[in-house]
Structure 1
Amino acid sequence: MSINRTSPEDPDETRNLAADPAHHDIVARCIQGISEKMLAQTLRALVQDGLVWREVKPTPPPQVTYGLTEFGREVGEPLTELFDRITQRLSPRSPG
């Protein structure tokens, strides 16, 4: 599962949660256009479903890290392949 991040520091960075777990603030920056409430609800549901793990380090302030579980990686691979095939087949629509 990849999340794209567009930032002034590294505009082409793509993070892969399977290989590189991410802190909450990085996940939030990578998913543009989502409210904090919706992000929290979605991450909570993914954790409950066993697709994503969550670790909280009791530091001031607490550091929350997310990553894909083994099950999340197993499910994500074929879905990513399917998504890639669909987007390759669909041509951009011209305004009209």
Structure 2
Amino acid sequence: MTDATQTPNSYVVEYTDGPLVGQTDKRILVGGEYDKTFGVIALVDGIEANFEYHATGARELNGETHVTYSFDAANSDSPVSDEDGVEPGEALV
């Protein structure tokens, strides 16, 4: 049985742009705090790369913390960015 007063230990990640736009994840709170920045290793059209994301906002929804993250193209391995005309899911050449 779960105690209703138990402190949550995870939060929902919402990717607002970049190669992971529209996807969500769950991450563990560290010291009760969400990550301000983190890297995600993911495949886009068979190419593995590290994508850096930065927190842009947080809100409570149905008792869970939801944090929005924005893509940091300058600190990512991939040449994917919103400005280069490559849409998420397109081949990188």
TM-score (norm 1): 0.29
Compare relative contact order (CA 8 Å, sep 6+) and give the higher one, 1 or 2: 2
Greater share of residues in helix: 1
